[in-house]
Amino acid sequence: MSYRYKIGCSLENLKGIRDFVRKSLKGHVVSEVELNEIVLALDEMCSNLMIHAHHCNPDHSLELSIDVPQKDKLIFEISDDGEMFDINRFSEPELGSLIQEKRKGGLGIRLVKSIMDEVEYLQRNGRNICRLSKRVG
């Protein structure tokens, strides 16, 4: 099974992304907690891309696809043609320093890395692809 969703880079559209993921994974992910984690990780990845690579320009778009190659494995790909925003290059801030600096960011990357099993980047047909994979069940 595979599912595909294309959306403009506006933060208002994050809700649509979450609904798409919930709907697509219905039947593939049983636990509500696990489903929420996956929704969260994809929301974080898409909002990071919208903000940092596309400066929330609604004319730019990104595409999310979900592939279920086997019962217990999910593969997500987020593709866009903006600047590459590789979360593996960002060090995760310490929780303590987040409080000190009152920074309202940096937590998202930590969430994604905790939730997903793998985060890798590749290029295909001139587009950036971020591929995330997760074992479930």
Partner 1 sequence: MVQIRRLQEEGAEILAVVGEIDASSSIELDLAIAKAVGEGVKRILIDCSALEYISSAGLGVFMSYIEEFRDKNIHMVLFGMKEKVANTFNILGLADLLHIRPSKQEAKKLINELSL
Among 8, 18, 90, 127, binds partner 1 (CB under 8 A): 18
CB of 57 to partner 1, least distance (A): 15
**How far apart, in Å, are the Cα atoms of 4 and each of 66, 77, 99, 102?**
6, 9, 38, 37
Q: How far is CA 3 from the centre of its chain?
A: 15
What's the Cα-to-Cα distance from 72 to each of 3, 6, 38, 88, 116, rounded to whole Å? 16, 25, 14, 25, 14
Residue 37 in the binding site for partner 1 (CB under 8 A): yes
Strands (E), the chain: 2-8, 61-70, 73-80, 118-124, 127-135
Using the rule CB under 8 A, which residue among 105, 118, 120, 123 binds partner 1?
105
CB nearer to partner 1: pick between 98 and 127: 98
Residue with tokens 């891309």: 49
Binding letters toward partner 1, positions 69-88, x by CB under 8 A: --------------------
23 near partner 1 (CB under 8 A): no
Instruction: Kindly state the tokens that stand for 92.
Output: 């995760």
Minimum gap (Å) between residue 2 Cβ and partner 1: 25
Side chain identity at residue 84, one-letter code:
M
Nearest approach in angstroms of CB 69 to partner 1 is 26
Interacting residues toward partner 1 by CB under 8 A: 11-12, 14-15, 18, 32-33, 35-37, 39-40, 43-44, 47, 51, 95, 98-100, 102-108, 110-111, 114-115
